[in-house]
Amino acid sequence: MLELIVATKNKKKLKEIWEILRGFNLKLSSLVDYSRAPRIIENGKTFKDNAVKKAVKIARFSKKLVLGEDSGLCVNALSGAPGVYSSRFSGKNKSDIRNNLKLLKLLRGLPLNKRKAYYICAVALADEHGLLGVVEGKCRGAIGFVLKGSRGFGYDPLFVIPKYNKTFAQLGEKIKYGMSHRYHALSKAKKIIQKYIEKHKGN
């Protein structure tokens, strides 16, 4: 069976990716299963840069099909910040709660119509021969005024989906997995994966 390595150790991110990719005849693994994998420094200027770097570097190391992913939050009122710095927005002692509190502080006093934002996800696929493709997906919403909900991760307790008037952290996995930025990116990536599987049948 063909193996697909997801180039991350983030368990919550892995769970979402694996759930969305369910149905493929693939053995799914991650960097948790490859303790000797090279460390990847996410210093790209864009989400695509980081996703490609992860996919290509781990594919060269493993000689297998690899999915690299990078994602984050972009807030219109902050000129797209935190952007590629989403996970380390609050600095050295970063954490989800610190990142969220910093975001709330920066948006203090702004009405809801000035708090528009979107999540973005870039997904790259590569094998030992190089990059196979890179795609992006977005999910639009707004930044709430207080943290709400106990499910999800990252900025999910603040990211309000207008259709439901609830945050991702309130809506939970079932709804999020069917509309998130990762869902949209991975839906495009599925076509690349399927093409790769068909090409390597019987190998």
Output the known binding site for Mg(2+). 70
Residue 49 designated active-site = no
Model pLDDT for residues 84-100, shown as the tens digit of each residue: 999 999 998 889 999 99
Output the known binding site. 8-13, 70-71, 153-156, 176, 181-182
Domains of the chain plus CATH, in order, are 3-199 (3.90.950.10)
Model pLDDT for residues 101-143, shown as the tens digit of each residue: 999 999 999 999 999 999 999 999 999 999 999 999 999 999 9
Question: What confidence score (pLDDT) does residue 195 get?
Answer: 93
Instruction: Give the chain as a DSSP string.
Output: --EEEES---HHHHHHHHHHTTTSS-EEEEGGG-TTSPP-----SSHHHHHHHHHHHHHHHHSSEEEEEEEEEEEGGGTT-BGGGGGGTT-TT--HHHHHHHHHHHTTT--GGG-EEEEEEEEEEEETTEEEEEEEEEEEEEE-SS---SSS-TTTTTEEETTTTEEHHHH-HHHHTTTSHHHHHHHHHHHHHHHHHHHTTT-
Per annotation, catalytic residue among 33, 49, 70, 127: 70
Model pLDDT for residues 29-87, shown as the tens digit of each residue: 999 999 899 999 889 999 999 999 999 999 999 999 999 999 999 999 999 999 999 99
Spatial distance between the Cα atoms of 18 and 8, rounded to a whole number of angstroms: 12
